[in-house]
Amino acid sequence: MAERSPGTKTVILTMQEDPEYARRALRAGALGYVLKEAADAELVEAVRRASVGGTYLNPALGARLATMPEQQAGRPDELSEREVEVLRLIALGHTNAEIGEQLFLSVRTVETHRAHIQQKLGRSTRAELVRYALDQGLLDGA
């Protein structure tokens, strides 16, 4: 965010209560992260703080983020070598059957790897997995 428009101060207003979304928003340059359910009480404060370069994070979400085990932060070294291969193929748009054929695995085994990947990275959708793979450079040179 900040790279595209360095003078712009960003506050995220969202329904997304997952601490990992907040972590990613703040790392991307957002100065505030406000949940829609608390917007009446918090949005003005978040904008005020951001306008002077301060930060604001919904207090309950901040507490969850602070106590979230580090493993849920999605470090690439949490994945096994096979899981990285499966994730890369998912991100390239392959179906579970195609991944199984390429890696000589059953579809069930691919599904199990995918479930482990989603659990380890704290992501639940294909789009989130693709974004993670892109962010980690897993598709570079693909």
* Tens of pLDDT, residues 115-127: 999 988 888 888 8
Domain stops at, among 68, 83, 111: 68
What pTM, to 2 d.p., does this model score? 0.49
Q: What one-character-per-residue DSSP string does 73-118 give?
A: G--GGGS-HHHHHHHHHHHTT--HHHHHHHHT--HHHHHHHHHHHH
* Tens of pLDDT, residues 56-87: 998 888 887 777 655 444 446 588 889 999 99
Query: Are 88 and 125 found together in one domain?
Result: yes
CATH code at position 124: 1.10.10.10
Q: Which domain holds residue 81?
A: 72-135
Token couple for 24: 């990613």
Burial 102-129 (b: 16+ CB within 10 A, else e): eeebeeebbeebbebbbebbbbeeeebb
Contact (Cβ atoms closer than 8 angstroms) between residue 31 and residue 55: yes
Helix axes 107-121, 81-91, angle to 10 degrees: 100
Query: Are 37 and 21 found together in one domain?
Result: yes
Residue 140 lies in a domain: no
Counting the structural domains of the chain, the total is: 2
